[in-house]
């Protein structure tokens, strides 16, 4: 969102309403008012409890949303165009009410589809009273939005099924992007992290990112067990989340010496750690197709790495992998299919090079920041034209 705001500020006045830093920057205090690369920022106070504890995370969500509401209600005018995301999930409803009160138009960018995400993550039963209530509320939200941005073709189909195909002109596919200027392929022998961990002579399978409820960390552990007799194959995890504690336990209980686990690394080190592997992993539980699109895959491809993915075949990631031949896709829970993909990667170093080259080229041509920001500009320009007509 930072980069989108910066890109839009080149030809528009852009203001960002947000909370104080949370998550990895929890405890840091930023100025309440600031101009950053042409974007006027207004930060409002909120709680910054540990997000890995559900009750504390909910408190953070409520405090962020209500604090932002009181800020936005003072700032938004009828001529404004608002871009709001679905995380935290209460936020777009606050913005909807604000825009209705002020007479402004808003674009809803869907990062995760609710309540589907809660069901897939095992947190809410489909068909329950709460699920049905949330489903109705989100349908009203989708119908109220002037335009909707989704991140992939699978999400486009899911959203249209909810609101009706007659509304297709209001739904736009605008993906995330790879940071091609900061992340690029590097020679394996020059990677300091591989040297530090003594993994220079291994086929390194890397999972980097959040280890949350929607992520199939369980299948990766099972794969590591099955491949524990293959000394040349090593699994490398970087990240945190609610499943990290379980992962740590499994490594100890099963004596999985073929797994290295590190804490999240600073964003400034992203190019180094994304290049510290031969293949990168995306792992999502069954049913995530259309519910969410893993944005990290674009930076993985920017680093020139093939993807070994656990995910639904009809997902955006599945489409890209098959259409562009940049990796392998294995259905969730089908651990043997994932293991076979890793073994094929081990036995075909030339194929890995070709896949990595195609992945980098694809990001440069279709998933660069400049290309994506142009799509947002085009959408907002059209909204301005419609307003003035």
pLDDT value for 23: 54
- Helix and strand numbers (H, E) in the chain are 15, 13
What's the pLDDT at 26?
A: 54
pLDDT digits (tens, 9 = 90+) for 306-329: 999 999 999 999 999 999 999 999
Q: Where is pLDDT greater, at 206 or 48?
A: 206
**pLDDT at position 389:** 62
The reply to whether domains 2-178+368-388 and 188-366 share a CATH topology is: yes
Instruction: Evaluate if pTM is beyond 0.95.
Output: no
pLDDT computed for residue 49 by the predictor? 74
Task: Name the residue ranges covered by the structural domains of the chain.
Answer: 2-178+368-388, 188-366
78-103 mean pLDDT: 90
User: Whose CA is closest to 102, among 94, 110, 113?
Assistant: 94
Of the pLDDT bands very low, low, confident and very high (cuts 50, 70, 90), residue 12 is: confident
Please give the pLDDT value at position 11: 83
CATH number of the structural domain 188-366: 3.40.50.2000
pLDDT reported for residue 40: 94
Q: Is the pLDDT of residue 20 over 90?
A: no
What are the E-state strand segments in 189-332? 203-208, 233-238, 259-262, 279-283, 307-310, 327-330
Q: Are 279 and 345 in contact (CB under 8 A)?
A: yes
Please give the mean pLDDT across all residues of the chain. Answer: 92
Q: 47-51, 107-111, 191-195, 303-307: which range is least confident on average?
A: 47-51
- Residues 229 and 220: their CA atoms lie apart, in Å, by 15
Q: Is the pLDDT of residue 231 over 70?
A: yes
- Domain 2-178+368-388, what architecture? 3-Layer(aba) Sandwich (3.40)
pLDDT of residue 200: 93
Which pLDDT score, from 0 to 100, does residue 6 have? 94
For residue 195, how far is the Cα from the chain centroid? 29
pLDDT, tens digit, for every residue of 91-124? 899 899 999 989 999 999 999 999 999 999 888 9
């Amino acid at each position: 969102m930072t980069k989108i705001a910066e890109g839009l500020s080149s030809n528009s006045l852009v203001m960002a309403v947000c909370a104080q830093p949370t998550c990895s920057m929890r405890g840091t205090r930023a100025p309440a008012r600031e101009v950053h690369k042409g974007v006027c920022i207004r930060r409002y106070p909120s709680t910054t409890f540990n997000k890995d504890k559900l009750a504390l995370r909910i408190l953070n969500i409520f405090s962020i949303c209500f604090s932002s509401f009181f800020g936005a209600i003072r700032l938004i005018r009828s001529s404004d165009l608002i871009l709001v995301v679905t995380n935290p999930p209460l936020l777009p409803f606050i913005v909807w009410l604000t825009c209705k009160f002020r007479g402004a138009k808003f674009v809803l960018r869907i990062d995760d589809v609710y309540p589907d995400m809660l069901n897939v993550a095992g947190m809410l039963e489909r068909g329950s009273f709460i699920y049905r209530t949330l489903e109705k509320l989100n349908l009203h939200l989708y119908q109220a939005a002037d335009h909707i941005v989704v991140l992939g073709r699978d999400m486009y189909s899911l959203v249209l099924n909810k609101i009706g195909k007659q509304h297709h002109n209001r739904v736009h596919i605008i993906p995330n992007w790879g940071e091609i200027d900061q992340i690029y392929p590097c020679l394996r022998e020059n990677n300091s992290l591989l040297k530090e961990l003594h993994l220079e002579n291994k086929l390194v399978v890397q999972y980097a990112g959040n280890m949350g409820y929607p992520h199939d960390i369980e299948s990766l552990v099972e794969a590591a067990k099955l491949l524990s007799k293959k000394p040349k194959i090593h699994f490398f995890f970087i990240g945190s989340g609610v499943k990290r504690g379980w992962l740590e336990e499994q490594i100890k209980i099963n004596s999985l010496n073929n797994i290295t686990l590190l804490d999240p690394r600073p964003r400034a080190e992203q190019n180094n750690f994304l290049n510290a592997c031969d293949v990168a992993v995306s792992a999502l539980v069954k049913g995530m197709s259309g519910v969410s699109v893993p944005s990290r895959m674009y930076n993985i491809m920017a680093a020139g790495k093939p993807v070994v993915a656990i995910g639904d075949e009809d997902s955006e990631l599945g489409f890209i992998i098959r259409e562009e031949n940049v990796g392998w896709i294995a259905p969730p829970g089908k651990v043997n299919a994932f293991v076979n993909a890793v073994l094929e990667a081990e036995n075909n170093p030339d194929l890995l090079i070709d896949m990595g080259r195609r992945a980098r080229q694809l990001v440069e041509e279709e998933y660069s920041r400049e290309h994506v920001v142009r799509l947002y500009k085009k959408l907002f320009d059209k909204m301005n034209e419609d307003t003035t007509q």
